[in-house]
Amino acid sequence: MRKNTSSKSKKQATVETTPSLASVLVVDDQASIRETMVITFRREGYDVQSAESGEQAMEIISRIPLDVVITDLRLSGMNGIEVLI
């Protein structure tokens, strides 16, 4: 009688999570442009916030750490340059 000396290696299941690339704020008063940019950046793995006005953007900036702000320059009320400075 022969003993089976081959050992079967146990495969371990690993769950890999992809960390977010960066946190991004998209600011645009035109909903279609804003939502298209949000969808595009999220598909690429970015953590995305959005705002429809400069004032709303400033509120988000004050409470969430962000890596990048992408803004329309011509916003009603506070303009994009004012958001950035």
Tokens representing residue 8 in the block? 């079967």
The two structure tokens encoding residue 37? 């940019």
pTM as predicted:
0.75
Q: Which residues of 41-53 are buried (b: 16+ CB within 10 A; e: fewer)?
A: beeeebbbbbbbb
Residue scoring higher pLDDT (33 or 5): 33
Structure tokens at 1: 């009688």
**Structural domain includes residue 15:** no
pLDDT at residue 25 greater than cutoff 90: yes
**Model confidence over 33-82: pLDDT tens digits?**
999 999 999 999 999 999 999 999 999 999 999 999 999 999 988 999 99
Buried b (16+ CB within 10 A) or exposed e, 15-26: eeeeeeeeebbb
- Could you give the angle at the alpha carbon of 28 between the alpha carbons of 19 and 70, nearest 5°? 45
| Whether the predicted pLDDT of 10 surpasses 60 | no
- Tell me, yes or no, whether 3 lies in a domain: no
CATH code, domain with 70 = 3.40.50.2300
Residue 1 domain-assigned (yes or no): no
First to last CA, the chain: 82
Q: Is the dihedral of CA 3, 6, 11, 12 positive or negative?
A: positive
Q: Structural domain tally of the chain?
A: 1
Q: Which domain holds residue 27?
A: 23-84
Identify whether 40 is part of a domain: yes
